[in-house]
Chain A
Amino acid sequence: MINNSLKQLGQMLAKKEISSVEMTQTFLNRIQQYNPSINAFITLDTDKTLAQAKLADARIAAGGDEPLTGIPIAQKDIFCAKGWRTTCGSKMLANFIAPYDAYVISQFDTAGAVNLGKTNMDEFAMGSSNETSFFGGVKNPWDFDRVPGGSSGGSAAAVAARLCAAATGTDTGGSIRQPASLCGFTGLKPTYGLVSRYGMIAFASSLDQAGPMAKSAEDCALMLDVMAGFDERDSTSLNRPKEHYTRDLNMSLKGLRIGLPREFFAEGLDANVAKVIEVAIAEYKKLGAEIVDISLPNSQLSIPVYYVLAPAEASSNLSRYDGVRYGHRAAQYDDLMDMYMKSRAEGFGAEVKRRILIGTYVLSAGYYDAYYLKAQQIRRLIADDFTQAFKKCDIIMGPTAPSTAFKAGEKADDPVAMYLQDVYTIATNLAGLPGMSIPAGFSNGLPVGLQIMGNYFDEARMLGVAHAYQQVTDWHTQMPELKIPEVVA
């Protein structure tokens, strides 16, 4: 059952082959068995979870037929969920109980899904390995010595290890797609503004976007049906008619023009990863797609641009954590300034501090024009590159990450090496475009992700393109063989 699709799980529930409580308990048992070694979850609350499962069962008994009713979903610990501890992976919020529900949480509630628990993540979503979490790193289920990617590392490991039916993530520079690549499953970052950010703890507001992390394109489509929607509480939420993201799953790829950006296959890409991507592209040719050579010349500037803009926004977004109203406050302090300094020095980890410092610097008087303003200008050029490219092609493909999962600690002390993990994903965040990663094979036993990028609001087509591939390959159904750890008493 654990490897079943969301559709299959939904059918089991509808046919009363299994109750939501039983299904939820199955996943909770797996979590109990494997989480102590994988560390995918920060907070579990079985009482709340099972209460929701019971409600779902009642709803199903009453004839409720929403696709995700009764299905246990893991929530990234960046979403406020009323009554749940919501930490964002930080000591700063280690004891914060959210007083309200994020849009995403309430959408799943409305759909009747079960909140299985809050998943581990890099602190305030800043990281590509989950190693910056205050609650410890997360193991990659394919190799416990390796990282799952980040920042949605807990959700990634939970999906890969089948500790949940599906999970949510957020993606500011690649935080859904890179872990999807490193852990071998399907993850989608929607068009900016498609999923409301209300109640999603902000890292970089103009880039943050929530999306599904699941086993297949079809599962992601069902998840996105629940997550997407207009929300007047988020001014950047887009008011457009509700779509059904499963609608193009069975589309034909005949004549589909796939653009391959030269810059994504150049220096810096691991040779084995490149080979896997080439094979995947060949598969698409077999499915009837045409390959078009394109260029995204400014995408090479994505990383420097991102590391000006994202920290700038973060430095301001994280100012609210001052120890005054909630969150960590130093035990002892002399005066107000001392309280601020000690509370923030103790509450934030090294990477968060690094980004606050960078952000504060680039916004400072005398530097703003040279850094922030210039970065905004280049951001527009990067978006323009995509506009040009989509005149020549329908879909863009390339690698999601430059390499497979790396070893824990390998890049922890080298921020620039870490930042390069997102070299292929950041450009879409800067442009506000949708991007996804699907499993495309293995290199030395580790998963490799193929990135699919679409034009604005092209999620349904992207999911169709991914689904067509998943009909002729089985990479997405492959599960890691989990080492059986000692059973925790």
Chain B
Amino acid sequence: MEWAKNNWEVVIGLETHTQLKTNTKIFSGASIKYGAEPNTQACVVSTAMPGVLPVLNREAVNCAIKFGLAINAEIAPRSVFARKNYFYPDLPKGYQISQFELPVVGRGAVTIQVPASGKNAAYEKVVNITRAHLEEDAGKSVHGAVEGMSGIDLNRAGTPLLEIVTEPDMRSAAEAVAYAKKLHELVQWIGICDGNMQEGSFRCDVNVSVRPKGSDKLGTRREIKNLNSFKFMTQAIEYETRWQIETLEDGGKIQQATVLFNPDTGETKSMRSKEEANDYRYFPDPDLLPLEVTEADKARVKATMPELPEAMKARFEVDFGLSAYDASALTSSRDMADYFVATVNAGAEAKPAANWILGAISAKLNAEEKSIAENPVTSIQLAALLRRISDNTISNNAAKQIFEYLWTPQVAELIIGDSLEEVTRGLDALIEAKGLKQESDSGAIEAVINEVLAANQAMVEEFKAGKEKAFNALVGQVMKASKGKANPAQVNEILKKKLAN
């Protein structure tokens, strides 16, 4: 299909439902804690008893304002809650309270980093946000708990959601996933969503269409519903794109439809076509007043916001002299940035700290599929390790071995303390115990060099005859003879002097 794919362009837009981290539901005082016994968090409002009324949870509004500020969006001074009418057993009122014509958050933008892949280098791209609106979640239908019956659990009904809608700005699965990941990090960064995809706190609907390359008209789109992993998102978009191109290449037409991705088959399948789609009969909810957000509200929320990743990235470049790439990588998540800052605050130099975090630690985390939050090496331990590298107590190689030990919880637990001094003492004991301390006594190094030169006259001759490589071989021999403990810089220096004679 590659030849065909090259003639087509895929156009992707996302709608993401983020569950907001409030204590209570968006229109009632019921708890939204995950995992409670069915219907134990279903008050009279959640069950839509006759006569009950919604009351807006201002905490949810603050979350929406935070998001709007974070993406530099227009925040509507006046927005309107509307009813989206349809029947479903887990929708107790027979309508969902959402926002339709006037959403709380208007146009904004998110800058994404698309990683390198194959021959393509990494690049940045701006994805425009069309809108973000507040709405309530539905309950859940539970099948199979009782033989032959479906149960309804209304604990989730009324959970606050912020639905974030993009323009059709993405042109590949990689871009879509880069956006989704960026958004996922951002909503956690500003503390409005716990980001837990397994529990459904962050769910994406992906609109996919294709068009001939060079065309500026959008093709007919199909919407892939409810993707709750980045892996599935990639698979679903790739499958859907291929299917649409093949359909068109075969002379077929794309019908607007809602599709579901089946992770077992890796295929998308139509749920309902446009003709079968509901007419939701949106109208302003007469039970709720228009939502007003004043400049003062915005200022109050702004004061509670953490430094945003973009600002932090710029600061890292200026304050620590980091490259744009490193600064960007370190601010790719709040946990990562916090870890870096904590390491620096513990006394580490910024550049080596960045190198270790983005190098050894990230590699290890990736290999073990762990997040930075699960990193067993504390920021103080890392600072102590870097301190012992910079003061030549250990070599870089030895440091890598020490790092492996630190990764083992049983060892790491022994090296604890609140101060760098304390932790460094523990680390020193470990270095001592493992015999990894670097030899920096020039007399001792010279003695080893003398032995090596005596034993390797042939190599000395080769070097003198102009074979530069022989020098490295001699260094290797010295390091080997010192069991890796000799300070390589000193070895280089002394050896050069000796051979010059």
- Interfacial residues, chain A to chain B (CB-CB below 8 A): 79-80, 86, 88, 93, 96, 98-100, 102, 197-202, 204-206, 232-236, 312-313, 315-316, 318-320, 322, 324-326, 336, 340, 360, 363-365, 368, 372
Not counting A80-B49, A99-B44, A233-B53, a sample of 13 additional A-B residue pairs whose C-beta atoms are within 8 angstroms of each other reads A88-B50, A201-B50, A204-B286, A234-B53, A316-B281, A320-B48, A320-B94, A322-B89, A336-B89, A363-B85, A363-B282, A364-B281, A365-B279
Chain B residues lying within 8 Å of A205, measured Cβ to Cβ, are: 286-287
Interchain nearest-CB distance for B271 vs A (Å)? 16
- With beta carbons under 8 angstroms apart, the residue of B49, B94, B281, B289 that contacts A236 is B289
**Contact between chains at B51 and A235 (CB < 8 Å):** no
Given contacts A316-B281, A324-B89, A325-B92, contact A198 B53 (CB under 8 A): yes
Contact code string B35-66 (vs A, CB < 8 Å = 1, else 0)? 00000000010011111111110000000000
**Contact between chains at A235 and B83 (CB < 8 Å):** no
Interchain nearest-CB distance for B149 vs A (Å)? 12
Interchain nearest-CB distance for A373 vs B (Å)? 9
**Contact between chains at A320 and B93 (CB < 8 Å):** yes
Contact code string B56-86 (vs A, CB < 8 Å = 1, else 0)? 1000000000000000000000000001010
Q: How far is the CA of A206 from the CA of B83 in the complex (A)?
A: 14
**Contact between chains at B55 and A326 (CB < 8 Å):** no
B34 near A: Cβ within 8 Å? no
B463 near A: Cβ within 8 Å? no
**Contact between chains at B51 and A316 (CB < 8 Å):** no
Q: How far is the CA of A324 from the CA of B92 in the complex (A)?
A: 8
**Contact between chains at B87 and A322 (CB < 8 Å):** yes
Instruction: Across the A-B interface, give the 8 residue pairs with the lowest CB-CB distance, nearest first.
Output: A319-B94, A206-B286, A363-B281, A205-B286, A199-B51, A201-B50, A320-B48, A201-B51
- With beta carbons under 8 angstroms apart, the residue of B48, B55, B279, B288 that contacts A325 is B48
**Contact between chains at A198 and B51 (CB < 8 Å):** yes
Interchain nearest-CB distance for B25 vs A (Å)? 14
**Contact between chains at B53 and A372 (CB < 8 Å):** no
**Contact between chains at A316 and B50 (CB < 8 Å):** no
B95 near A: Cβ within 8 Å? yes
B301 near A: Cβ within 8 Å? no
**Contact between chains at A360 and B281 (CB < 8 Å):** yes
- Can you show 26 pairs from A to B with CB atoms below 8 A apart? A80-B49, A93-B50, A96-B50, A99-B44, A99-B49, A100-B49, A102-B51, A198-B52, A201-B51, A202-B51, A202-B287, A233-B55, A235-B54, A235-B289, A236-B286, A236-B287, A313-B286, A316-B83, A320-B48, A320-B92, A320-B94, A322-B87, A324-B152, A326-B49, A360-B281, A363-B85
Chain A residues lying within 8 Å of B44, measured Cβ to Cβ, are: 99-100
Per DSSP, chain A at the interface is loop
B283 near A: Cβ within 8 Å? yes
Q: How far is the CA of A197 from the CA of B54 in the complex (A)?
A: 11
Q: How far is the CA of A324 from the CA of B85 in the complex (A)?
A: 16
Chain B residues lying within 8 Å of A336, measured Cβ to Cβ, are: 89
- With beta carbons under 8 angstroms apart, the residue of A88, A232, A313, A324 that contacts B55 is A232
**Contact between chains at A86 and B54 (CB < 8 Å):** no
Q: How far is the CA of A99 from the CA of B47 in the complex (A)?
A: 11
When C-beta atoms are compared, the residue in chain B nearest to A376 turns out to be B284
Q: How far is the CA of A205 from the CA of B44 in the complex (A)?
A: 18
Number of B interface residues, CB 8 Å? 28
Chain A residues lying within 8 Å of B51, measured Cβ to Cβ, are: 79-80, 98, 102, 197-202
Chain A residues lying within 8 Å of B283, measured Cβ to Cβ, are: 312-313, 316, 363, 368, 372
Chain A residues lying within 8 Å of B279, measured Cβ to Cβ, are: 364-365
Chain A residues lying within 8 Å of B287, measured Cβ to Cβ, are: 202, 205, 235-236
Chain A residues lying within 8 Å of B95, measured Cβ to Cβ, are: 316, 319
Chain B residues lying within 8 Å of A197, measured Cβ to Cβ, are: 51, 53
Per DSSP, chain B at the interface is loop
Chain B residues lying within 8 Å of A318, measured Cβ to Cβ, are: 94
Q: How far is the CA of A100 from the CA of B89 in the complex (A)?
A: 23
Interchain nearest-CB distance for A306 vs B (Å)? 14
Q: How far is the CA of A258 from the CA of B50 in the complex (A)?
A: 40
**Contact between chains at A320 and B53 (CB < 8 Å):** no
Q: How far is the CA of A235 from the CA of B95 in the complex (A)?
A: 18
Chain B residues lying within 8 Å of A316, measured Cβ to Cβ, are: 83, 85, 94-95, 281, 283
Q: How far is the CA of A202 from the CA of B49 in the complex (A)?
A: 11
Chain B residues lying within 8 Å of A235, measured Cβ to Cβ, are: 53-56, 287-289
Q: How far is the CA of A316 from the CA of B54 in the complex (A)?
A: 14
Chain B residues lying within 8 Å of A102, measured Cβ to Cβ, are: 51
Q: How far is the CA of A98 from the CA of B281 in the complex (A)?
A: 29
**Contact between chains at B152 and A319 (CB < 8 Å):** no
Chain B residues lying within 8 Å of A326, measured Cβ to Cβ, are: 47, 49
Given contacts A93-B50, A235-B56, contact A322 B94 (CB under 8 A): yes
Interchain nearest-CB distance for A393 vs B (Å)? 30
Given contacts A206-B286, A326-B49, A363-B283, contact A319 B55 (CB under 8 A): no
When C-beta atoms are compared, the residue in chain A nearest to B39 turns out to be A325
Q: How far is the CA of A216 from the CA of B286 in the complex (A)?
A: 33
When C-beta atoms are compared, the residue in chain B nearest to A86 turns out to be B50
Chain B residues lying within 8 Å of A198, measured Cβ to Cβ, are: 51-53
Interchain nearest-CB distance for A173 vs B (Å)? 15
- With beta carbons under 8 angstroms apart, the residue of B47, B56, B87, B282 that contacts A340 is B87
Chain A residues lying within 8 Å of B50, measured Cβ to Cβ, are: 80, 86, 88, 93, 96, 98, 201-202, 320
Interchain nearest-CB distance for B283 vs A (Å)? 6
Interchain nearest-CB distance for B61 vs A (Å)? 13
Chain A residues lying within 8 Å of B152, measured Cβ to Cβ, are: 324-325
Chain A residues lying within 8 Å of B56, measured Cβ to Cβ, are: 235
Q: How far is the CA of A365 from the CA of B288 in the complex (A)?
A: 23
User: Which of B51, B95, B282 is packed against the most chain A CB atoms within 10 Å?
Assistant: B51
Chain B residues lying within 8 Å of A322, measured Cβ to Cβ, are: 87, 89, 94
Interchain nearest-CB distance for B48 vs A (Å)? 4
Given contacts A99-B44, A236-B289, A372-B283, contact A319 B52 (CB under 8 A): no
Q: How far is the CA of A368 from the CA of B280 in the complex (A)?
A: 11
Q: How far is the CA of A236 from the CA of B287 in the complex (A)?
A: 7
Interchain nearest-CB distance for B115 vs A (Å)? 42
Q: How far is the CA of A368 from the CA of B49 in the complex (A)?
A: 28
Interchain nearest-CB distance for A235 vs B (Å)? 5
Chain A residues lying within 8 Å of B55, measured Cβ to Cβ, are: 232-235
**Contact between chains at B54 and A319 (CB < 8 Å):** no
When C-beta atoms are compared, the residue in chain B nearest to A361 turns out to be B281
When C-beta atoms are compared, the residue in chain B nearest to A341 turns out to be B87
Interchain nearest-CB distance for A340 vs B (Å)? 6
Interchain nearest-CB distance for A125 vs B (Å)? 12
Chain B residues lying within 8 Å of A365, measured Cβ to Cβ, are: 279, 281
Given contacts A233-B55, A363-B281, contact A319 B289 (CB under 8 A): no
Chain A residues lying within 8 Å of B85, measured Cβ to Cβ, are: 315-316, 319, 363
Interchain nearest-CB distance for A84 vs B (Å)? 12
Chain A residues lying within 8 Å of B286, measured Cβ to Cβ, are: 204-206, 236, 313
Interchain nearest-CB distance for B160 vs A (Å)? 16
When C-beta atoms are compared, the residue in chain A nearest to B278 turns out to be A365
Chain B residues lying within 8 Å of A98, measured Cβ to Cβ, are: 49-51
Chain B residues lying within 8 Å of A200, measured Cβ to Cβ, are: 51
Q: How far is the CA of A238 from the CA of B25 in the complex (A)?
A: 23
Interchain nearest-CB distance for B428 vs A (Å)? 62
Interchain nearest-CB distance for B280 vs A (Å)? 8
Interchain nearest-CB distance for B282 vs A (Å)? 8
